[in-house]
Amino acid sequence: MAARAASGAVSRRLWQGLGNLSTSNSKSSTTKNAVFLLSTGVKWAQFSHLHIDFPKEVTKPAITVSDEPDTLYKRLSILVKAHDKAVLDSYEFFAVLAAKELGISIKVHEPPRKIERLTLLKSVHIFKKHRVQYEMRTLYRCLELERLTGCTANVYLEYIQRNLPEGVAMEVTKTQLQPLPEHIREPIWEKEVKDKEESKA
């Protein structure tokens, strides 16, 4: 209360000061007034650090092409969990449209919802017969994408995840395809026998 009264008094004095200044400088008066109007209510201790931020030059990310082979994903399964069906519906519409635009085959199904209920005592002390019940509803939506390359998967997932709404969780399961590694083609015992014979001879 005292601090507020004090700051009020300070602001009035500063306002009178600025009022005097405004008659003298016409160019900087508008910015000073704007600054003052912005900071009414803010504690005056931080007044000296106020500045207006100008946006920096944004460079677009460059498309790089590398020689290493792209990873292949047979299936990408995205499970989205939320408390609200309307939010899930909107998000599903967004994800499906994004996939169609990027040329990815997508299928959507809705796993059944899960409700977690708990019963607590209504009162702080005694009154065992009077309880209150809460529940937490988790609704699911499963998006299944088939046959993606690593680059497309990364792009799509980043786009989806950056636009994930508040209070919504996601689990992504990736099934990656890989060739047989070199060392599983042939058993090494024959090579070892050959090497031993060569070293002996």
- Please give the residue ranges that form the binding site for other proteins (CB under 8 A): 12, 15, 63, 70, 72, 74, 84, 86-87, 90-91, 94, 97-98, 101-103, 147-152, 155-156, 159, 161, 163-181, 183-189
Shortest reach from residue 166's CB to other proteins, in Å = 5
- H or E stretch covering 22: helix 2-24
Nearer of residues 132 and 169 to other proteins, judged by Cβ? 169
8 Å CB contact between 41 and 27 = no
Taking residue 156's Cβ as centre, other Cβ atoms within 10 Å add up to 20
Shortest reach from residue 32's CB to other proteins, in Å = 14
State which amino acid sits at residue 102.
Answer: L
8 Å CB contact between 168 and 81 = yes
- Torsion over CA of 100, 81, 155 and 158, rounded to 10 degrees? 140
Nearer of residues 58 and 126 to other proteins, judged by Cβ? 58
Shortest reach from residue 69's CB to other proteins, in Å = 10
Shortest reach from residue 124's CB to other proteins, in Å = 28
Q: Which two tokens stand for residue 11?
A: 């602001």
Nearer of residues 8 and 119 to other proteins, judged by Cβ? 8
